[in-house]
A and B are shown apart, each in its own frame.
Chain A
């Protein structure tokens, strides 16, 4: 996933002859890494320049990626990879800084909250210090600032604010003309991420209206309501961007719909992976792993990656949420359902991502 294969064809051919690998430059990584971890070729290295404590459980990591990194647009995400207890883990985070910072100073930021029980986020908080180097993928995602400028409503929850921060800053720098409203939901007022920055942005950028709502400060929880939407002038003309925990996203979706906001004007970014509702379909089946000559049955919504692992196989994987394609494999026959989109595959031969493919009936995979 984080690999780069942009060497010329001839070099690639030669590398294959000499080092038996598709990415010949990475042959030298074990040595280069010792001299300077920023010279590693297999992935784009990024060094931690600064760590800022945002709230009690949220930190912003300021990173300096190697110069060959391709840059990003406000609102996009990146995969990062770190080694936790000897195992490489890949995770996706939103970039919280604006692209201007990258262009001017070659810096980007990730704002990361400790998730209870989260293996990677906790590790990042406990081990990632100034000077550490992690692997960075290229940016992706289409949760980006509308162009030309249109009125915008952001609804963010908790650390779902991160891509919004990047967008707001970019909008302020561009002097974005259309009105922008942010409804930002946090548990308690202690949990506001980047409060100062948000306030500074509001002061600097007159088109921006900021409302921070603490859901659990009072005795009764105070969630997003229709009245909140009522405070947004010209709601139906706005592009709406949602980013936050699933409960908030679902609620927002319903309320917006009942106010007649059109589906195509609502943009979501995954935060927790949105999952299509596939429960009402028959799932599971006999799965054959051709290369290992293994056949196992599965029930319910177990995905092919889990099924393979339960059978003792170790297919390659990355994010385990359908993003990185590390787990892509050849399906030779059978139908699978994509658990992100709920779409059914054809019965024939095609590439599938194991981590989001749920078998429906007998399936044969080249693993």
Chain B
């Protein structure tokens, strides 16, 4: 894909840096007020959801409580946790919103996430073999992985991954595929596993034990509501994340072409490896503005609510340099994700015979 010269890349770098500098210089009160408002919304939804849940024997209350709790988890994970841990609000110097100490409401520990996501995924975005987020080492999403019979059933894996997404993400750092291949030993991962069980246990304790038990006579209702809220969050966040990198036109890269790359090349990779989706204000909020995945990948530590504001500038830069800017409606983008998962579950011979299944490729 790299048809740009070093000079062009360095111009790209400057153009994008200029956008970034402008936002950084303007950070202040408005951003602080925004994130505080979102935190308040989260607290309101969580407190409200938990308080209503015991009255869930009244069906509409059950629905309201479950939706409130589900939304609270989505907002906390996507718009608060993910973004805070990227350091988007570190400049506020608020200990509750500090990237290095934030701990979110999901199984994956903040520390593990900071390593696997902030560092690995955002540095090696879409480099096959290095970005373990690409297919989560579970799905075959490009022909860089050789087809194996087990891939034919990967659609089932995909659904399981979505349903248990928070556990999948929590276990991501285990690198089970490398353990299976004998590259590392389980023993090396013991400290990680300890943390995983501690945090996972904590999450399970509160949603599946503590809150049901303190509302004993209605425990099954509370349990069902909490399970559903977690499920809502899991399905939504996995969908959003899949739409960010696995759409039809999102490109993949090989390690060789990224060795010793310049910042300009890194920018280019972020631009072409990510994809956006359009939607209303709420869609953006609930996706943690990962609907602006392109902007997020180019500027992971700018406050996410700024992405819509700079999107036009980023598009203009893309246009100037002849770089595709991958966006589309949520339905369209998600459709191409499903198509990709399906297409690569087939052996290449079969897939190449069906023109409708052609996909963005590693080059």
Q: List A residues at the B interface (Cβ < 8 Å).
A: 3, 16-18, 20-21, 26-31, 34, 42, 83, 85-89, 293, 314-318, 326
The digit string for B95-124, where 1 denotes a CB below 8 A from any CB of A, is 110111101110000000000000100000
B93 at interface (Cβ–Cβ under 8 A)? Answer: yes
A293 CA to B120 CA, complexed, in Å: 12
In the complex, A29 Cα to B103 Cα: how many Å? 17
Q: Are B105 and A20 in contact (CB under 8 A)?
A: yes
Contact B92 A88, beta carbon cutoff 8 Å: yes
Q: Point out the residues of chain B lying under 8 angstroms from A16, CB to CB.
A: 202
Chain B residues near A34: list those with CB within 8 A. 40
* Partner among B39, B44, B99, B210 whose Cβ is within 8 Å of the Cβ of A314: B99
Confirm or deny: B27 has a beta carbon within 8 angstroms of a beta carbon on chain A.
yes
Contacts known (A3-B95, A87-B92); A18 close to B87, Cβ less than 8 A: no
B42 CB to nearest chain A CB (Å):
8
Binding site for A on B (CB under 8 A): 27-33, 36, 39-40, 43-44, 47, 87, 90-96, 98-101, 103-105, 119, 202, 205-206, 210
Residues of B within 8 A of A316 (CB): 93, 95, 98, 100-101
The CA of A293 and the CA of B44, in the complex, are separated in Å by: 39
Closest CB in chain A relative to B51 CB, distance in Å? 12
| Closest A residue, CB atoms, query B205 | A17
Min C-beta distance of B133 to chain A, whole Å: 19
In the bound complex, what is the Cα–Cα distance between A271 and B105 (angstroms)?
43
CB of A142, distance to nearest CB on chain B (Å): 27
A27 to B105, CA, bound (A): 12
Given the known A-B contacts A27-B43, A30-B40, are A20 and B95 also in contact in the complex, defined by CB atoms under 8 Å?
no
Q: Which 8 A-B pairs rank lowest in CB-CB distance, beginning with the nearest?
A: A86-B32, A314-B90, A20-B103, A85-B28, A88-B93, A30-B40, A86-B28, A86-B29
Chain B residue with Cβ nearest A318: B93
- In the assembled complex, which residues on chain B have CB atoms less than 8 Å from the CB atom of A87? 28, 32, 91-93
Name, among A16, A21, A30, the residue most crowded by chain B CB atoms within 10 Å (CB to CB): A30
CB pairs A–B below 8 angstroms (18 shown)? A3-B95, A17-B210, A21-B103, A29-B96, A30-B43, A31-B40, A42-B96, A83-B32, A85-B32, A86-B30, A87-B91, A88-B93, A89-B93, A293-B119, A314-B87, A316-B101, A317-B93, A318-B93
Partner of A86, one of B27, B44, B105, B206: B27
CB distance from B70 to the nearest CB of A (A): 17
Contact assessment for B93 and A20 in the assembled complex, using a CB-CB cutoff below 8 Å: no
